[in-house]
């Protein structure tokens, strides 16, 4: 069980801080059920409620500094997300996004980035599906890596690129 003040990674909103653990003050709501009140670090006006002990993968601990560097270093070895049928691309991307797994988010970022580069080299623009999921995955993952590494989220892409190009493997 998490405590008030802990940082957690929410499967959609990225890094969040637990500001309270209590029941919801909503009519017709079970007052005995406890909820984590989360505030996303990148959107302090938002509030997310997650049931304590909900048993799903909605929340997890953020990666550590060493785990973050190890994940970044593993990017070249990560397989892209294989989509046999273009009709199912959005479904496969969404599945990767909501797994709340840092490695899967990197796979999603790598896949959409490589597809974007391939399309640009042919004089075509990136698809809206790829762009949407690239932005979503980057936000979710980069907020967590920013916390773990002490680097601003908007500098994370440059940091990753520099680390990989310097052969830190």
- CATH for 84: 1.20.58.1290
Domain boundary among 21, 39, 60: 60
Same-domain check for residues 56 and 69: no
131, 139, 130, 132: which is closest to 12 by C-alpha?
139
Same-domain check for residues 71 and 42: no
| pTM of the predicted model as reported, rounded to 2 decimal places | 0.85
Pair 17, 38: CB distance under 8 Å = yes
Same-domain check for residues 37 and 73: no
Same-domain check for residues 45 and 101: no
Count of the separate structural domains present in the chain: 2
The reported pLDDT for the residue numbered 44 is 87
| pLDDT tens for each residue of 123-166 | 999 999 999 999 999 988 999 999 999 999 999 999 999 999 98
What's the domain range around 15? 7-60
Would you place residue 64 in the very low, low, confident or very high pLDDT band (cuts 50, 70, 90)?
very high
The reported pLDDT for the residue numbered 168 is 58
| pLDDT tens for each residue of 23-39 | 988 888 788 889 999 99
Same-domain check for residues 91 and 123: yes
Same-domain check for residues 150 and 82: yes
Say yes or no to pLDDT of 169 above 50: no
Distance CA 163, CA 100 (A): 24
* Mean pLDDT over the full length of the chain: 91
Distance CA 13, CA 16 (A): 7
Pair 112, 133: CB distance under 8 Å = yes
The answer to whether position 154 is within a domain reads yes
Same-domain check for residues 47 and 78: no
Would you place residue 87 in the very low, low, confident or very high pLDDT band (cuts 50, 70, 90)?
confident
The reported pLDDT for the residue numbered 55 is 59
Q: Show the tokens assigned to 91.
A: 């479904």
Distance CA 14, CA 33 (A): 24
């Amino acid at each position: 069980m998490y405590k008030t003040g802990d940082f957690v990674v929410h499967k959609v909103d990225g890094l969040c801080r637990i500001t309270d653990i209590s029941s919801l003050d909503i009519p017709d709501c079970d007052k005995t059920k406890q909820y984590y009140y989360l505030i996303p670090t990148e959107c302090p006006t938002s509030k997310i409620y997650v049931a304590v002990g909900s048993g799903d993968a909605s929340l997890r601990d953020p990666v550590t500094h060493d785990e973050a560097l190890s994940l970044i270093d593993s990017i070249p070895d990560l397989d892209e997300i294989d989509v046999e049928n273009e009709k199912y691309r959005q479904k496969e991307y969404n599945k990767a996004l909501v797994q709340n797994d840092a490695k899967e988010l990197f796979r999603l970022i790598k896949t959409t980035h490589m597809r974007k580069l391939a399309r640009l080299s042919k004089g075509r623009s990136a698809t809206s599906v790829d762009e949407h999921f690239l932005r979503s995955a980057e936000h979710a993952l980069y907020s967590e890596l920013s916390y773990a590494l002490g680097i601003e989220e908007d500098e994370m892409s440059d940091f990753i690129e520099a680390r990989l190009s310097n052969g830190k493997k």
